[in-house]
Amino acid sequence: MMDMEKMMTEKLQGREIILEYHPVGNIMRVSAMDTATMTEVSIQCPVNAGEYVFKKNVLAKMEYVLRKEGKIS
């Protein structure tokens, strides 16, 4: 399986992002926080989707939110 550094896009490289997993029944709630900007995002996926899908989706959402807020270009 790929490590988180390889999954991050160029825009997120070098940023410290904390991931938190919280299972709720058949759903996994995944939260990510960018420590530099204190920006937090979360997603929900089926538990059986797997860690790769959790990380890929939450990091994509983090990049989207940071771009939208003008914190990265």
- How many angstroms separate the CA atoms of 72 and 65, rounded? 9
User: What confidence score (pLDDT) does residue 70 get?
Assistant: 95
Q: Which two tokens stand for residue 39?
A: 């920006």
**Inter-residue contact 34 to 17 (CB < 8 Å):** yes
What residues contact residue 71 under an 8 Å CB cut-off, 6+ apart? Answer: 34, 37, 39
- 5: pLDDT confidence band, cut at 50, 70 and 90? low
At 10-65, the pLDDT tens digits run: 788 889 999 999 999 999 999 999 999 999 999 999 999 999 999 999 999 999 99
Structure token pair of residue 62:
């983090």
**Residues 45, 21 contacting (CB under 8 angstroms):** no
Structure confidence at residue 71 (pLDDT): 94
